[in-house]
Structure 1
Amino acid sequence: MISFSPTEDETAFVDVAEGFAKDVIRPKARECEKHRAVDEAIIAKAEEIGVASLEFPESWDGLELPLISQVQMFQTLSYGDLGIVQGLPGAGDAASIIRIAEKNPVLETYKEAGRGRSWPNVAFIDAFDLGQPWAEELQISKNGDGYTLYGVSRPVRLGVGAEYVVVAAVDTDNEPVVLWLHNTLGGDRWTAAEGDYRLGLLSAGLARLQFNHAEAHANEVIATGDEARRLITGAQTRIRILQAAKAVGLMQAALEYATEYTAERKAFGKTIAQFQGVSFKIAEMAIETKIANHLVLEAATKADADKNDAVEMSLRALYRAHRSSLFVTDAAVQLLGGHGFVDEFPVEKWARDAQAQASLYGREHDLLTRRGEQIVNGATGAKKGVLQ
């Protein structure tokens, strides 16, 4: 039987994260959203407890924590505020590329840039799945030993002010490629188009990155072909699990707030929670949160053990986390009635953040499509005697 009970070290990490989430992150959520940037005091505290280096390998002076430990940390931090967590500076989703390709010489400049200092911001463009409508807006063409990029990416977090950009894509010759680009001070290799993406996660530095025939040289190519495919698949698996964990933290916050509100608010001489319709809704919210949490923990365990079904489990965990977070946060807004739409109460922000999170990392339909393709390809390969 698999046990998801935290170890003593994990419990210590989570305790620190819980105090940080409640005492520092949550009180600053509205202020950070208003300024569309994470408060410097929050950044300093996050660096102090090593949030930016949870995924980094030890050879990079990182903590190199297993995913099962990281998901518990990020759930707890996102309980404070998902928008702030998504806007914390550093390598962002590209940390999973670094985790897998830690010895790749292309990464040396970034490794030296952050060693002993704050890690520069990295925006991660995942344009690997050409079935996505946005992927066709960014074209990567082979150009001698390098590549030429033209077009615009989907919105990515940490896109505003990113010093580095990682591009995981399929080029115009249908070959996988992973690029690591550096925008030197005052450089113009890309431009960031800011905007209100789904009106949520406003502290996360969301932006579309525009490339106008930008050149990626040979010394900026991390991997190509099958090596790139394996690297992207491995990174995507880890990113899905970590992002699903953050969605669970958001759900836990909405569930707790709605539960406390309905237990204290009175109507017709009794608390709202005593009405059957309300209690049923709270129960549904709790069930969805538990299911999503269990799937995230199971997926993290599979990935840590390098199981063959880790990719499948990551898709399932992210799909359910997005579906559940949209339901839970919307239900919280409904349970607060008119107060649910007032910005004096946090639930309306959480509902917006849940929408933006799902849009950034895959709507339920997109994730189901990916999983369906896996099943079909697996069945076809099995009939042909091919290992999938």
Structure 2
Amino acid sequence: MISFEPTDEEKAFTEVAYKFGGEDIRRSARENEQKGFVHHELIDQVNHLGFLTMEEPESLDGMQLPLISQVQILEALCYGDLGTVQGFPGLGDGASVLRVIGDQQIHEEQRHFVKENSCTIAFAEEVAEEMAQSRLKLTKSNNAYMLHGKSEPVRLGNIATHLIIGIKDDAGETILFWLDKSRNKWEVETCDNRLGLREANIANLSFDEASFSENQIIAKGNNAEKILQLAYTRIYILQAAKQLGLMVAALDYATEYTATRKAFQQPLAKFQGVSFRIAQMVMEIKMVRNHIWQAAKATDDSHSNAEGYALSTMFAAHKGIRFVTDSAVQLLGGHGYVQEYPVEKWMRDAQAQVILYGREREFLTRRGDQILAETEKKVMS
């Protein structure tokens, strides 16, 4: 448990985010889902308010806010709708990579594209052990690298102008590099997104012997692995905060519904099974929020166990969002599956979010491996 009191500035920014999310985003959520993208007027609004540049480095004209500030704001935005927020263009998860890289390793050409152009970055990483059978392969030939195959589903992949990819080459070395669609070619295969997150432009990216040069490489070997580790620590925390916002929205909607609808001349909320479920949803949300704040603070303070906190946070957030959104649908009964009510969309978006960023078991396994390694190290010393 951590002791935490938001600053006046954080409170003010979060209040703006809650108002914008609860009104503008919530109002346009169904339209965005039907179209499969976020309306440009909403994007202009969110960009004007500064919500697209919170994670971006100051050297790229970003706000470079601490994670502890960002998680509060993202929770507020996603109170409006997770799918819409996941569909905002810009640097996306790639912003965390650029934040970790720092000024020294950002090439001048990359800096130019990010600062001067309308740039949308999709970030794909295929170096984890569970991706050992990935269909995306990287080979080196003389001074050039060749990329072949198809990636896993990538958020914003359908509209990306640039890619940041982390992958092991045929020699087993981790390579982190960036591609520019104006000179590097790839095909986009839009994913079957009937489940949820239709607005997020999720796609598989296909490469047919696509080549890129050494000057497009950001980092290699241990340096690349360290960058990916630190970037994913930040990404997991930010994504968990988004999921928390959706959880709070689902709780509030289900609570209001059960408090105002009656059966047998009394509100649904008075029935024991309903009140128990709402209490469980509240406890789940409080637990996830504490995980997020602890992980965000640890990362901001460069705590040695920040990655472990981030893995625990994502596990808790995945478990929580599935439980809370499913519970909201159940509490509405038959209405929970009707599109006139938002909870069915939130449940579908929650399931798609978990699939996109990894199931709970993956984070639990990785955190368990960390704990065992730490314990073994202590015993051996």
| Aligned residue in 1 for 2:357 | 361
Q: How does 1:343-382 map to 2 (within 5 A)?
A: 343-382=339-378
TM-aligned CA deviation for residue 188 of structure 1: 6.2
Question: Are 2:245 and 1:249 equivalent residues in the alignment?
Answer: yes
TM-score (norm 2): 0.96
Kindly report the root-mean-square deviation, in angstroms, between the aligned alpha carbons of the 2 structures. Answer: 1.6
Offset at 1:46? Answer: 0.9
Deviates more, 1:122-131 or 1:303-312: 122-131
Could you tell me how far 1:10 is from its partner in structure 2? 0.6
1:67-216 aligned within 5 A: 67-104=67-104, 106-115=106-115, 118=118, 120-132=119-131, 136-184=134-182, 189-197=185-193, 199-216=195-212
- Unaligned runs of 5+ residues in structure 2 are none
Q: How many pairs are equivalent?
A: 381
Gaps of 5+ in 1: none
Partner of 2:146, secondary structure, is strand
Is the Cα contact below 8 Å between 2:90 and 2:121 reproduced in 1? yes
Asked if the contact 1:130/1:170 (under 8 Å) is kept, the reply is no
Match of 1:308 in 2: 304
Contact 1:140 1:172 in 2 (8 A): yes
User: 1:219-368 maps to which residues of 2 (within 5 A)?
Assistant: 219-368=215-364
- SS at the partner of 2:159? coil
Amino acid in the other structure paired with 2:168: V
When structure 1 is superposed on structure 2, of 96-105 and 363-372 the one drifting more is: 96-105
* Counterparts of 1:107 and 1:42, CA distance in 2: 31
Deviation for aligned residue 1:55: 0.8
Q: Deviations over 1:223-273 (max 9, x none)?
A: 001111110110010000000100100100000000000000000100000
Moved more, 101-110 or 231-240: 101-110
Does the aligned pair in 2 maintain the 1:148–1:216 contact within 8 Å? yes
What is the aligned partner in structure 2 of residue 16 from structure 1?
Answer: 16
* Alignment of 1:62 onto 2:62: yes
Flag as ranges the 4+ runs of structure 1 deviating above 6 A.
none
Write the distance in 1 (CA, Å) between the matches of 2:194 and 2:226.
Answer: 32
Kindly state the Cα deviation for residue 379 of structure 1 after the two structures are TM-superposed.
3.4
Query: Is the CA contact (8 Å cut-off) linking 1:92 and 1:121 kept in structure 2?
Result: yes
What is the deviation of 1:18?
1.0
Structure 2 Cα separation of the partners of residues 341 and 137 of structure 1: 36
Query: 2:74 & 2:302 partners in 1: Cα distance?
Result: 21
Partner-residue secondary structure (3-state), 1:199: coil
Q: State the 1:105 CA deviation.
A: 5.2
Report how far residue 172 of structure 1 moved.
Answer: 2.3
Report the Cα distance in structure 2 between the residues aligned to 1:70 and 1:129, rounded to whole angstroms.
Answer: 27
Structure-to-structure mapping, 1:29-40, within 5 angstroms: 29-40=29-40
Which whole-Å deviations, capped at 9, do the CAs of 1:110-135 have from their partners, x for residues lacking one? 322242664x11110021213236x6
Moved more, 191-200 or 260-269: 191-200
Give the Å deviation of 1:140: 1.7
Change (3 A) 1:109 1:320: same
Deviation of the 1:384 alpha carbon:
4.6
Task: Work out whether residues 175 and 221 of structure 2, in 8 Å CA contact, stay in contact via their aligned partners in 1.
Answer: yes
* Mapped partners of 2:104, 2:178: distance in 1: 11
Q: Does structure 2 retain, via aligned residues, the 8 Å contact 1:177–1:225?
A: yes
